[in-house]
């Protein structure tokens, strides 16, 4: 019995049962493309937060590959972490490359609404698995994939070849897209962006679609946008998606600010009726709206902390909230919660998004309310 094929079939059955996979082309692609070829080695996080390596020699390698979960393949933007993990058993670090959760891959591929002959640009090659799914459905000549990390791209290209797929693979900055093969009927961002890059607007064919997620630690936002006359408009999708950010869009200030929020002396300390989970938990109905009100805020856990690049911070323990810096961020969160309730508790799919060369903003259906995206810092 082909163990990998059997596990692959079970994964597809689960995606069908959860209704994230519907199009027969993608069903067939997920059934046929061998994910394990693209994941000969990856990290699994231990309860203590350290990352240990899993190789093809691991007895549970295939079972772990075919779970509906993210498989992290790089830490700290540096391949040396993998070698260190093999030598020592585990390492610490921040994920910088991965094979995404199959469910969110299915959601985004379905959202692309591809038609025969479409040219697709994938931003963020990663392991190459998603590019293989695209090739299986559309054909090699229709798929271009770009990644900023030459080492990541080199491994992905090799594994694509081993699996029998040959898209155009390009080492470069995904923020700039890839003009030599433009225009594209579809652009798929498999990494999160702080703003829709102008190059994406320029290189999408009229009537073409952009599907991507936003680099918003609170709220995120998976969007499908239609491009016309140099601008993109569309809707935030009901399904949520969380991805590692495009490297040019990382919150480089956040680690230090969140660490400071762990021990800083507060300007104020009080109780609050607003649970931290309502603001930061993706399953909360309020979380998307909270992210609009708390633009640019970064978050961390144990305890829940919020930080803003202007030096404002929050530390939330139980019913007690401590704050510091020039703005009272939790006061703003509470005010946003009251506004959200007054608006009828709108969910993420009730918001639209517009991107032009000069402005980008969310808007709420049937209201004049808009929330602009701020320029990158």
Tell me what the mean pLDDT of segment 328-340 comes to: 97
Please calculate the CA angle 34-39-42 and round it to the nearest 5 degrees. Answer: 155
* Average of per-residue pLDDT across 44-63: 93
> If we measure between CA atoms, which residue out of 245, 344, 260, 251 comes closest to residue 295?
251
Mean pLDDT of 353-368: 95
Between CA 62 and CA 279 the distance in angstroms is 36
3-state secondary structure at position 335: helix
pLDDT at 366 over 60: yes
Short-list 67, 72, 71, 70, CA closest to 12: 67
Residue 14: Cβ-neighbour burial (10 angstroms; 0-12, 13-18, 19+): middle
Q: Please tell me the predicted confidence (pLDDT) of residue 251.
A: 63
Contact (Cβ atoms closer than 8 angstroms) between residue 233 and residue 210:
no
CA 37, 107, 168, 119 dihedral sign is positive
Domain(s) labelled CATH 3.40.50.150 in the chain stretch across 101-231
| pLDDT of 177 strictly over 70 | yes
Other beta carbons within 10 angstroms of residue 262's beta carbon come to 12
User: Kindly report the CA angle at 60 between 83 and 53, in degrees rounded to 5?
Assistant: 15
Which tens digit of pLDDT belongs to each residue from 218-270? Answer: 988 899 999 998 899 999 998 877 666 555 555 677 889 999 999 999 999 99
**What's residue 377's pLDDT?**
47
Query: For residue range 4-35, what is the model confidence (pLDDT) as tens digits?
Result: 999 999 999 999 999 999 999 999 999 999 99
Residue 192: pLDDT band (50, 70, 90) is: confident
Which one has a higher pLDDT value, 98 or 293?
293
Greatest CA separation found in the chain? 64
Confidence (pLDDT) at 78: 82
Burial of 341 (0-12, 13-18, 19+ CB in 10 A): exposed
What's the whole-number mean pLDDT along residues 283-297?
Answer: 94
Considering the chain, what is the average pLDDT of its residues? Answer: 93
Please give the class, per CATH, of domain 101-231: alpha beta
User: Could you read off the pLDDT of 70-102 as tens digits, one per residue?
Assistant: 999 988 888 899 999 999 999 998 888 888 899
**pLDDT above 70: percentage of residues in the chain:** 96
The answer to whether 56 is a known catalytic residue is no
β-bridge pairing 71-75 and 95-99:
antiparallel
The tokens 């029998």 sit on which residue? 164
Catalytic residue among 97, 100, 194, 276: 100
What is the per-residue DSSP string for 6-65? HHHHHHHHHHHHTTS---HHHHHHHHHS-GGGG-SEEEEE-TTS-EEEEETTSTTHHHHH
Give the helix/strand (H/E) hosting 201: helix 198-203
| pLDDT for 347 | 96
């Amino acid at each position: 019995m082909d163990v990998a094929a059997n596990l692959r079939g079970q994964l597809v059955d689960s995606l069908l049962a959860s209704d994230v996979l519907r199009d027969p082309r993608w069903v067939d692609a997920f059934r046929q493309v061998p994910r394990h070829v693209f994941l000969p080695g990856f990290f699994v996080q231990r309860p203590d937060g350290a990352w240990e390596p899993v190789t093809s020699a691991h007895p549970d390698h295939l079972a772990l590959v075919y779970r509906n979960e993210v498989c992290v393949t790089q830490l700290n933007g540096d391949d040396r972490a993998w070698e260190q993990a093999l030598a020592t058993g585990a390492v610490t670090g921040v994920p910088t490359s991965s094979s995404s959760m199959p469910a969110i891959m299915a959601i985004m591929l379905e959202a692309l609404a591809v038609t025969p002959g479409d040219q697709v640009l994938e931003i963020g090659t990663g392991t190459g698995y998603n590019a293989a799914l695209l090739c299986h459905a559309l054909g090699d000549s229709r798929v271009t994939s770009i990644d900023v990390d030459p080492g990541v791209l080199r491994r992905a290209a090799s594994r694509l070849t081993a699996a029998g797929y040959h898209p155009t693979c390009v080492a470069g900055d995904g923020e700039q897209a890839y003009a030599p093969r433009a225009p594209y009927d579809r652009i798929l961002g498999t990494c999160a962006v702080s703003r829709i890059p102008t190059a994406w607007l320029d290189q999408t064919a009229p009537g073409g679609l952009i599907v991507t997620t936003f680099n918003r630690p609170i709220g995120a936002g998976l969007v499908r946008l239609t491009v016309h006359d140099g601008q993109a408009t569309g809707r935030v999708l009901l399904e949520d998606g969380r991805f590692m950010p495009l490297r040019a869009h990382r919150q480089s200030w956040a680690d230090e600010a969140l660490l400071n929020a762990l021990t800083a002396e507060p300007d104020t300390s009080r109780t609050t009726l607003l649970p931290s989970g309502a603001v930061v938990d993706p399953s909360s109905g309020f979380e998307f709206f909270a992210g609009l009100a708390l633009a640019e805020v970064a978050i961390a856990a144990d305890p829940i902390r919020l930080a803003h690049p202007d030096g404002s911070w929050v530390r939330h323990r139980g019913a007690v909230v401590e704050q510091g810096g020039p703005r009272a961020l939790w006061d703003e969160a509470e005010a946003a919660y009251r506004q959200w309730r007054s608006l009828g508790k709108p969910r993420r799919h009730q918001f639209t998004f517009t991107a032009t060369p000069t402005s980008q903003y969310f808007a709420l259906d049937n209201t004049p309310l808009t929330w602009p995206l701020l320029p990158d810092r």
